Amino acid sequence: FASTYEGGLSASTFIDNTGRDFPMLTGNLVSICVGGLLCGFVTLFTRKSMNKEEVEEEWEKTRDIDNPLSPWILSFTEDLNIENATNDRPSQDTINEKFRTAKITAYTATLFFTLLYVFIWPGSMLSVHILDLSGFDVWTVISRCWAFIAAIFIITVPLVQEIFAILQQVKKNKSNENIKQTGINIGKQNENFTSDEVEL
């Protein structure tokens, strides 16, 4: 497409012609789409047809990727309502059931923000071709407010979540320490009993 403009792809006009809107749009679309389609086609033509058991076995390979210092089964014990955390991982069906709400929330949020950022937000600009000064001020105010709200959310929410997690862990540690101390005290009291007192 760049070659169809005046000067073509000569040394003097190469940057100008290839940097225009239509050639840039075409190049970006081709690079994104070809990469995605190529990966999909290669995957479809190079893998064999698998049954349900083989598919689950392949997914289990991804679950083997874990941090030995902090296994995920210990991190998600409370979320999965596991009483005794062991090295035996719960089935994928159990995980899907426990995190069904989170999955639906993620899908809904993805659809909503895709519509907002790809269609609604850019489409709103099509209603006015050329903004006057007041319209431009309104648009910039909205953009700044959106950016500030997003920045505040991104900065504060993880911080607040970590603080709550630390407080909950401190509370849990104190509770475990109290239980341990109570057990020690009971053991010391039992040591003071004689065999005759125990029989009585």
Q: pLDDT of 86-122, one tens digit each?
A: 556 677 777 788 888 989 999 999 999 889 888 887 7
> Could you tell me how far CA 27 lies from the centroid of its own chain?
30
Distance from C-alpha of 55 to C-alpha of 193, rounded to nearest angstrom: 62
Q: Give residue-wise pLDDT tens across range 119-143.
A: 887 777 777 777 788 888 888 898 8
pTM over 0.85? The answer is: no
CA atoms within 13 A on the CB side of 157: 6
